Amino acid sequence: MKNSIRAIGPGLFLLAAAPALATQGHGDPEGLYVHQMSHIFFVFSMGILIYWLRARKLVRESGWRYIQYAGFFFILWTLDAFVAHLLDEQLRLVQVTRIDRWHIRLDAHSEWLELVYYIVKLDHLLCVPAMIFFYMGVRRLLMTVRHDGSVPGISEAQ
């Protein structure tokens, strides 16, 4: 009986969850401005990371190379999210109306703007590869540390 409850409990917990939306709304106007600035800061930070990895020639090691790829996809992802926020929250060029659980209606000034908005809402196609590359890079570095006892590229770069 206890095993049944332990098995059913997590399932019920997951079924009761609210939908997780790809991009989230923010309080007007300060919340949105700060959030948009954080996107710009994140792009700048990932750009510096990529520059630093390349300048120190750390990308010769596969772990650091994967982290560089992750940084590139994170840049694309955050620019994508920035545009999504810009279109629907800041400039209000696209209006989204939920028809039912699986359907929405987009109202924009033009069809091409609707297409652009639809594409930028597919931001998970950029975020998931970024996370996978990051995981692969950290995993590769960890395997090297366990095998050699040092992080590849760090001792040579300093």
CA distance 98 to 49: 39
> Which sequence spans correspond to the domains of the chain?
31-146
Average pLDDT over residues 90-112: 91
**Residue length of the chain:** 158
Closest among 17, 20, 41 to 124, alpha carbons compared: 20
With contact defined as beta carbons under 8 Å apart, do 52 and 115 qualify?
Answer: no
* 3-state helix, strand and coil shares in percent for the chain, rounded to the nearest 5: 70, 5, 25
The angle that helices 62-85 and 111-120 make with each other, rounded to 10 degrees, is 140
- Residues 93 and 113: beta-carbon distance below 8 Å: yes
Q: What is the pLDDT of residues 120-145, one digit of tens each?
A: 999 999 999 999 999 999 999 999 98
pLDDT, tens digit, 9 for 90 and up, residues 43-54: 999 999 999 999
Model confidence, pTM: 0.78
